[in-house]
A and B are shown apart, each in its own frame.
Chain A
Amino acid sequence: MTTRTSLQKTLGIGLTLGVTLLWLLGVTASGLVAQHEMNEVFDSALEETAQRILPLAVTDILNSENGAGNQKAPALKDHDEYLTYLVRDEAGNILLQSHDADPGVFSRTPAEGFSDTLTHRLYGVSAVSNTIYLEVAEPLAHRRESALEAGLALLLPLLVLIPVSLLGVWWIVRLSLRKVVDFQQDIESRGAGDLSPVVEEQLPREFEPIAGAINRLLERLHRALESERSFTANSAHELRTPLATALAKVQRLKTRMPDDYLKNDVAEIEEALRSLSVLSGKLLELAKAEGGGALSQSQQDLVPILAMIARDFEAQAPGRVVLSLPEREVNSFLDPDAFAILVRNLIENALKHGSRSEPVKINLNDNGVLRVCNGGARVPPEQLALLRNRFARAKTDAAGSGLGLAIADAIAKGAGMTLHLRSPATGRQDGFEAELNLACI
């Protein structure tokens, strides 16, 4: 099984994924830069806070030296305290702390400058000859939350960007490929035998070489088919004319022969020439059937052709042909000449090998299904399977070239149709039936 991709779908998904990936890379880079800058700002705020609080804390501690001990600075108003501070002496005793400060988050020994614990960022500063230390702590979670919010702010547009990008790319690609789609539909909608050039002027420049290549191929195919047709027609002429001359001369000779013995000899030559004519005709038909001329460039009504051929057979075998035609046209891309050969062979086959006491029924219905049916003995399945082979014959006394059904089958195959051979015929206990759908192409 082959998986065919849609250019529109591939471009739509590919471009959207590309844009999304680039956006994510951009967001990551921006997030990292923003985080770095934010950390600098937060650190600066931490440092500034420590330096501004330290003089106030020292003054406060010195003023209350007698009642020294742990003092909590009361909150003027309820609020979330992101920055907490702790003032300690050189021995580490807490002298003052902010109201939400947790001593556990600070290091045991006060230190100056920036430091980190698992949960907090700290900044320490000292005063009064390193006897009083102040440390300010800020939760790292706060910083992460800020970074996360900034990242989310950058990521959120993707929710809109992805569908908009998909839609935009799909629309632009569709617009760009409109002429290509028209081109594709033009090729799809043309008949199977239509070899006229495709229109390439409207196509985007990138597709022009494809159209050009298709047109060159169509032209070569057209020329090949034409020369094949011409060769078949010329061969027919070159072969039939001397045969016609020989046959006519022999027939004239026969009328002038006084001797019955010689007349019989001439009659045998005449019969041999007639057989040669039939065989050469069949071989030419087979050549045409196996060539590429089974399809025509436009649809044609096949009903009048079937009627004409049936009339010919009715003239040759009066009363043995029963024709049933539809009320309306049956249009098909099957080449009229190929159709005539096909039908002629099917009817000939039915007349030769069918029961002489029953007519050959030729039925073409409104749906374009052609059936040629004859009475006679049932053809065994193993023989039925071989009838399409060249020079194959069912067990019969009738003379035949053994090419008729091979020719009919080759034409049907060449036109993309299926020739069904059945025995017994539909609705009967015996007989033979050939069926094919002319309107399927």
Chain B
Amino acid sequence: MRVLLVEDTVGLGEAVRDQIADDGHAVDWVQTLGFAEASVRTTPYDLILLDLMLPDGHGLGFLRTLRATGKTTPVIILTARDQVSDRIEGLNAGADDYLVKPFDLSELSARVAAVARRYRGNPSPIIQVGELMIDLGDHRISRNGLPVELTAREWALFEGFIQRPGMLLSRSQLEDRLYAFGAEIESNTIEVYVSRLRKKLGRDAIVTVRGMGYRLETHDH
């Protein structure tokens, strides 16, 4: 997933960014609401981790604006405000979950995974696509019962397909998923990664739609 982290405390922001990146997600970290607003305007995020008390305003205002503009990107609030009224206010403003500081990073990882699954319409962490069994929580894939190892970048690309199974993804959409890892994107980068995924997951797992993009094949062969 591509995750936007909005957190002004440097130490905490670094730790959260590293944890989420270790979970296999691409993280953009900003420290102000101004940067957060600019980021969501230009990049399609799969999840936003939002602190509330930020130097240039309150995170709830940003969240309300986000929802008012029709964006349904899942949002998890990370805050030191532990009152139930704050939590209700946050959820009413459109947050999907609310985590009170200090929290365990493993708890954050679990919440991130749960929210992501909810948005995919599949609350179970394990899904089956064709001959692939995919554990979204642990980022593990098995093909016909045999484990398949994916690199972080391969997983990031493949996750994009899982989130929209059977739907067409354009080259630029796929490139966006890799940019967050700081990867150098050349003209044939996507073809290279798709080719690697096909090798590991099966030749017909990802279908090329000439001139338009790629699609994850969802039916059995």
The one of A236, A308, A340 that contacts B81, using a Cβ cutoff of 8 Å: A236
Which residues of A approach B to under 8 Å, CB–CB?
A: 233, 236-237, 239-241, 243-249, 251-252, 255, 273-274, 277, 281, 305, 308-309, 336-337, 339-340
B83 interfacial contact with A, CB 8 Å: yes
* Structural contact, B15 and A251, CB atoms closer than 8 A: yes
* Structural contact, A248 and B82, CB atoms closer than 8 A: no
27 contacts between A and B (CB under 8 A): A237-B80, A237-B81, A239-B80, A240-B100, A241-B80, A243-B101, A244-B101, A245-B11, A245-B12, A245-B15, A246-B11, A247-B103, A247-B104, A248-B12, A248-B16, A248-B19, A248-B102, A249-B14, A251-B15, A252-B14, A252-B105, A277-B102, A281-B82, A308-B87, A336-B88, A337-B83, A340-B83
Contacts A248-B12, A340-B84 aside, 14 further interface pairs with beta carbons under 8 A come to A233-B83, A236-B82, A237-B53, A241-B12, A244-B80, A244-B103, A245-B15, A247-B104, A248-B11, A251-B19, A273-B102, A274-B102, A277-B102, A337-B85
The one of B81, B82, B87, B102 that contacts A247, using a Cβ cutoff of 8 Å: B102
A336 proximity list for chain B (CB < 8 A): 84-85, 88
B9 interfacial contact with A, CB 8 Å: yes
CA A305 to CA B102, docked complex, whole Å: 22
In the complex formed, the residue of B with least CB distance to A339 is B84
Of A248, A252, A336, A337, the most chain B CB neighbours within 10 A belong to A248
With contacts A237-B53, A241-B9, A243-B101 taken as known, whether A252 is within 8 angstroms of B80 at the C-beta atoms is no
Q: Mark B111-132, 1 if CB is under 8 A from A, else 0.
A: 0000000000000000000000
Q: How far is the CB of A285 from chain B (nearest CB, A)?
A: 9
Q: How far is the CB of A437 from chain B (nearest CB, A)?
A: 20
* Structural contact, A305 and B80, CB atoms closer than 8 A: no
* Structural contact, B82 and A240, CB atoms closer than 8 A: yes
Q: Mark B59-90, 1 if CB is under 8 A from A, else 0.
A: 00000000000000000000011111101100
CA A244 to CA B80, docked complex, whole Å: 9
B37 proximity list for chain A (CB < 8 A): none
With contacts A236-B80, A251-B15 taken as known, whether A244 is within 8 angstroms of B85 at the C-beta atoms is no
Q: How far is the CB of B172 from chain A (nearest CB, A)?
A: 33
CA A272 to CA B24, docked complex, whole Å: 29
B204 interfacial contact with A, CB 8 Å: no
B22 interfacial contact with A, CB 8 Å: yes
The one of A240, A248, A277 that contacts B105, using a Cβ cutoff of 8 Å: A248
B103 proximity list for chain A (CB < 8 A): 244, 247
B138 proximity list for chain A (CB < 8 A): none
* Structural contact, A244 and B84, CB atoms closer than 8 A: no
Q: How far is the CB of A282 from chain B (nearest CB, A)?
A: 12
